[in-house]
Amino acid sequence: MSTFTLSCPVPRVARDHVSLGHGSGGKLSAELMREVFLPAFRNDTLERLEDQATLSIGNTRIAMTTDSFVVKPLFFPGGDIGSLAVHGTVNDLAMGGATPLFLSVAYIIEEGLPMDTLRRITESLGRAAAACGVQVVTGDTKVVDKGSGDGLFINSTGLGVMPEGVNLSAGRARPGDAVILSGFIGDHGVAILAEREGLEFESPVQSDSAPLHTLVQDMLRTTHAIRCMRDPTRGGVSSSLNEIAAQSRVGIELHEEAIPIREEVRGACEMLGLDPLYVANEGKLLAIVDPAIADELVAVMREHPLGRDARRIGTVKTSDPGWVTLRTLLGTTRIVDMLAGDQLPRIC
């Protein structure tokens, strides 16, 4: 037998085509950002890689964000692509502490989409915007050949105003900080999957799609000792926390028994071999805060309908910088790695 050399000569498949994994919010997405987008669009604001961009125009600080929605199916328990578009964009602004004011809405419609579907989605979008106190002030419509789209894609850009003294950033987490989660995870991803796969629930799981800006406002009224906030959408809690750990160069340790998951969501995840830490949420937020005010903040969050199940799930540490770790039920520690590709495609 020949001696084994320790290099594996299996050829590496060249990454010369975009795959679904590039849109999943995990490592491949980050790779795309690093290798294709940042080099082309060099500027300080973009390089901060926050969920929204804070811009100064004269003496006013404006927050701007853009988001595209390609969820399949268009209608799901707890929402539709229209309301999702509003909530998603509003939340991106809210995570920076901004007050959302205006939205643009651009439709890319596939030829043949029933007019009734378009109407229902648009009405839902309008209702969601009104409920958030934001106005849809500009938009665009394109129609593509049948087969070139998937019913409907929506892009939305949001503008808001950044209040004085608010300076949230994924780079501000410090060892000792508390990690707070606003409620049950995995609802949205599982609701979408259930719709697609025909999973039957005893009590159907609804998407948690909701606008978080009023919850955020309550939180900011209580304290400014919040370092940053993220809404864990694609890639779940894991992606958001991994981004923060990387940008702040800290470790983040979570406690398995503290993480709130609905029984139905757990069942679906067990059955399909999914880890809820990677499943998308559309109405939850993570906040990294000064530990001194953590308990008070959780109490304030629980007064808000979208924060009833808020709790502390972990701590920022100096050890294992750049990594998110989980203290398991058995007391051992493992890492919560960033998703490589796709757990569930077309989730938001």
Partner 1 sequence: MRYIDEYRDPKIAQALVDRIHARVTKPWVLMEICGGQTHTLMRYGIDELIPSQVELVHGPGCPVCVTPIEVVDKAVEIASRPDVIFVSYGDMLRVPGTKSDLFRVKAMGGDVRIAYSPMEAVKIAQSNPTRKVVFFGIGFETTAPANAMAVWKARELGLKNFSELVSHVLVPPAIRLLLNSPHNRVQGFIAPGHVCTIMGYWQYKGLVEEFRVPIVVGGFEPVDLLEAILMLVTQLEAGQAKVENQYGRSVDYQGNGPAQMLVEEVFEVADRKWRGIGAIPASGLRLRPEFAAYDAEKIFGVEAMEAAEPPECISALVLQGLKKPVDCPAFACQCTPEHPLGAPMVSNEGACAAYYQYRRHAASMVCVS
Partner 2 sequence: MCLAVPGKLVETQSISDSRLGVVQFGGIKRSVFLDFVPEAQVGDYVLVHVGFAISRLDEEEAHRTYELLEHIGMLETEDPAFQGESTVSAAVGAIRADDAIH
Q: For residues 316 and 177, what is the distance between their CA atoms, to the nearest angstrom?
A: 5
Among 145, 164, 202, 257, binds partner 2 (CB under 8 A): 202
CB atoms within 10 A of CB 106: 17
Which listed option, partner 2, partner 1, none, makes contact with residue 200 (CB within 5 to 8 Å by class)?
partner 2
Among 28, 210, 252, 289, binds partner 1 (CB under 8 A): 28
Among 266, 319, 333, 335, binds partner 2 (CB under 8 A): 266
Q: For residues 189 and 77, what is the distance between their CA atoms, to the nearest angstrom?
A: 11
Is position 163 an interface residue for partner 2 (rule: CB under 8 A)? no
Q: Between the CA atoms of 145, 147, 151 and 154, what dihedral angle is there, to the nearest 10 degrees?
A: -70
Among 263, 295, 296, 303, binds partner 2 (CB under 8 A): 263
The two tokens of residue 203 are 């009590």
Residues 326-345 that bind partner 1 (CB under 8 A): 328-335, 337, 340-341
Which listed option, partner 1, partner 2, none, makes contact with residue 202 (CB within 5 to 8 Å by class)?
partner 2
The two tokens of residue 119 are 């109407």
Q: Are 289 and 225 in contact (CB under 8 A)?
A: yes
Q: Between 128 and 268, name the residue whose CB sits nearer to partner 2.
A: 268
Kindly state the number of chain residues that form the binding site for partner 2, as judged by CB under 8 A.
17
Applying CB under 8 A, which part among 4-12, 42-50, 123-131, 151-159 lies near partner 1? 4-12
Beta bridge partners of 319: none
Which listed option, partner 2, partner 1, none, makes contact with residue 203 (CB within 5 to 8 Å by class)?
partner 2
Q: For residues 113 and 133, what is the distance between their CA atoms, to the nearest angstrom?
A: 29
Applying CB under 8 A, which part among 18-26, 65-73, 74-82, 114-122 lies near partner 1? 18-26
DSSP state of 268: H
CB atoms within 10 A of CB 100: 27
User: Nearest 5 degrees, angle CA 223-CA 301-CA 225?
Assistant: 20
Is position 267 an interface residue for partner 2 (rule: CB under 8 A)? yes
CB atoms within 10 A of CB 144: 12
Q: For residues 256 and 275, what is the distance between their CA atoms, to the nearest angstrom?
A: 12
Q: How far is the CB of 260 from partner 2 (least distance, A)?
A: 15
Which listed option, partner 2, partner 1, none, makes contact with residue 115 (CB within 5 to 8 Å by class)?
none
x/- letters, 190..219, toward partner 1 (CB under 8 A): -------x----------------------
Residue with tokens 């294709």: 36
Among 199, 260, 275, 327, binds partner 2 (CB under 8 A): 199
Going by their DSSP bridges, the two strands 135-144 and 99-110 should be labelled as: parallel
Is position 328 an interface residue for partner 2 (rule: CB under 8 A)? no
Q: Which residues bind partner 2 (CB under 8 A)?
A: 194, 199-203, 205, 262-264, 266-268, 270-271, 273, 331
